[in-house]
Structures are given as C-alpha cells and as structure tokens.
Amino acid sequence: MSDLAFLSMILGTSAAAGVLGALLGLGGGILLVPLLTLFFGVSLPYAMGASILSVIATSCGAAAGHLASGLANMRLGLFLATATVAGALLGASLVGVVPARALQILFGLALAYSALTTIRQLHVEVAESLEADPLAQRFGLEGVYHDQALGRDVAYHAIHVRRGVAVMFGAGVLSGLLGIGSGAFKVLAMDTFMRLPMKVSTATSNFMIGLTAAASAGVYFGRGDIHPVIATPVALGVLLGSYVGTRLIGHLRNTTVRKLFLPIVLYLAVSMLLRGLGLLR
C-alpha cells in the first residue's frame, strides 16, 4: 500500500470517529485507538498520542458548531469542568495510593446502573418540566435551543446539580488515576442525573473534553508520542468529521442519540468491570 493510500485510509477512519464523537460527546479515542493499532498496525504510544490529539480536534470542530447552534451550554460546561479537572488532579496524585481496580469495579457498576437508566428513558425525548435546582438558577445552568427534529424551541434547566457535580468529580478522579478519557461519564452525569436533553449533554461534553484533554496532551507531546505524520490525517479527519457531526445532530431526535450512545455505555461498563476483576488487561 502506498503512503498516500495509507494516510487516506486513516483520514477516512478519523472522519468517521469525528462524526461519532460530535454526535455522542466523546473524544473518539474509544474508536480510534483500537482501529489504529489493530487495523493500521500503528504502535500503541503513537495511537494514544493521536487519540489525545483527536479529542482536542473533536472538541474544536464540534464545540464550535454546537456553541453556534446553541446546543452546547458554555456556562454548564465550565461549571462542571471545574469538578472534572479537580477530580483528575486528585486522581493523578492518588496513583499508587488508591486501588485502581476497586475503583474500576465501582465505576463499572455505576455505568451498568446508568445503562439501565438509559434503557428506561430510551424513549423520553425531553424530560418533563422539573423544578430547577437553586444552584442551577444561581449559576445560570439553563438554556434554550432550537430543535430542528422537533421543529420547536426546547427550554431546559439542570436539576440535582450536586449529584451531577459529584459524578463529574468521580469521573475526573478515575480519569486522572487511570489516564482514560471521560466523555461518556460527562454525558451520563448530564443526561441521567441532571436530566438535561441528551443532545445538550453530548454537545456540552464536546466542549468540556477539549479542556480536560489539553491538560494531559502536553505530556504526550513532550514524550514524542504525537507523531507528526500520523497526527496530520487524524486531526484533519476528526476536525472535518466532527464539524459534519454538528450539522447532523440537529436533525436527530434526543431518543436517537441516546440509542446510539447506549452500546458505548454497555461496552464501557463491561470492559471496566472485567478490568476491575482482573479478567481483562
């Protein structure tokens, strides 16, 4: 295979990861790392370096589009990012102190519970009007977006803000401890606990993941794990794909996005439980 064909295939794969990332609020690493290593034979450090770059590229492309369309709530993202980043700092300082496997089991169970909740509200388009949390009112954690699929404006506000912040903090601790991304946890905290519309949750997660990834990307760069030749098609593909994804999500229903998200949660729950039990490396 020629260099051009090889790089073009990586570009196409990255574009698909970007579309999925923009729709589901994920960085794309969950898809990119296995594909780059298993199908393209890229060494794991370079695949992980490309993955962290793809998180930032997804965030740039998707968050720009989502902020412009009103789907991403910047105040909500910044407010919750303080919990995630603080958790990540604590998690990073606890490496070797806290048993990571116990935490993996704990979060695997939490994800399994979230998957069940997601199944229960699979057909809920927008949560019924619930009383706004005083914290949500104080920090302006509310908004309105125009839903193209429903053909009307949808107003929303966060509830159970403390619970959502606690989940975000826990997700941050786990990501700091294990060095994993936490886009799925962010979406679940907003959708399941704070009862925000699914599309607002994924769009706001897209804004947040860029901030948290930026903290760790410098480490990969300093180690030389972001290889220029592999980084270019990945960044270009993901950026274009995520921008297309932001156009696509407007036409999808919240229930459709939730159905697309469910397999990811199930996969994460099972893999985290298996890792926690020592059955998967």
Partner 1 sequence: MNGAERMVSALLLIGGFVAVGLMLVGLVALQVRAARTAHPLDVRHVVEHREAGRSVDVFVSMPQIAHALARWPPQPVAIITAGIVVLLATPAAGLLAAMAAFARAGDRPYVIICAALLVMLVSGFFLRVGG
> Of residues 176-195, which lie at the interface with partner 1 (CB under 8 A)?
176-182
Both structure tokens of 26: 């994920």
Q: Tell which positions 122-181 bind partner 1, by CB under 8 A.
A: 138-139, 172, 174-181
d(CA 150, CA 62): 21
Q: How far is the CB of 7 from partner 1 (least distance, A)?
A: 6
For partner 1, what does the binding mask look like between residues 215 and 234, x meaning CB under 8 A?
xxxxx-xxxx-xxxxxxx--
Q: What is the DSSP letter of 225?
A: -
Q: Verify binding: residue 266, partner 1, rule CB under 8 A.
A: no
Alpha-carbon dihedral angle through residues 83, 84, 86, 88, given to the nearest 10 degrees:
160
Q: What is the DSSP letter of 142?
A: E
Q: Verify binding: residue 85, partner 1, rule CB under 8 A.
A: yes
Number of residues interacting with partner 1: please give it, by CB under 8 A.
Answer: 72
Q: Are 102 and 232 in contact (CB under 8 A)?
A: no
Bridging pattern class, strands 152-157 and 142-147: antiparallel
Q: Verify binding: residue 92, partner 1, rule CB under 8 A.
A: yes
Q: Tell which positions 46-75 bind partner 1, by CB under 8 A.
A: 46, 53, 56-57, 59-61, 63-65, 67-68, 70, 74-75
Q: Verify binding: residue 94, partner 1, rule CB under 8 A.
A: no
Q: Collect all residues with Cβ–Cβ distance below 8 Å to 38 and sequence separation of at least 6.
A: none
Q: Collect all residues with Cβ–Cβ distance below 8 Å to 250 and sequence separation of at least 6.
A: 69, 71, 147, 148, 149
154 φ/ψ angles, rounded to the nearest 5 degrees: -120, 120
Per DSSP, the three-state class of 143 is strand
CB closer to partner 1, 45 vs 250: 45
Among 24, 33, 88, 269, which residue sits at the site for partner 1 (rule: CB under 8 A)?
88
Q: Verify binding: residue 79, partner 1, rule CB under 8 A.
A: yes
**Segment contacting partner 1 by CB under 8 A, of 4-12, 96-104, 194-202, 257-265:** 4-12
d(CA 102, CA 153): 44
Q: Verify binding: residue 78, partner 1, rule CB under 8 A.
A: yes
Q: Verify binding: residue 106, partner 1, rule CB under 8 A.
A: no
Q: How far is the CB of 82 from partner 1 (least distance, A)?
A: 6
Q: Verify binding: residue 271, partner 1, rule CB under 8 A.
A: no
Residues paired with residue 144 on neighbouring β-strands, in sequence order: 155
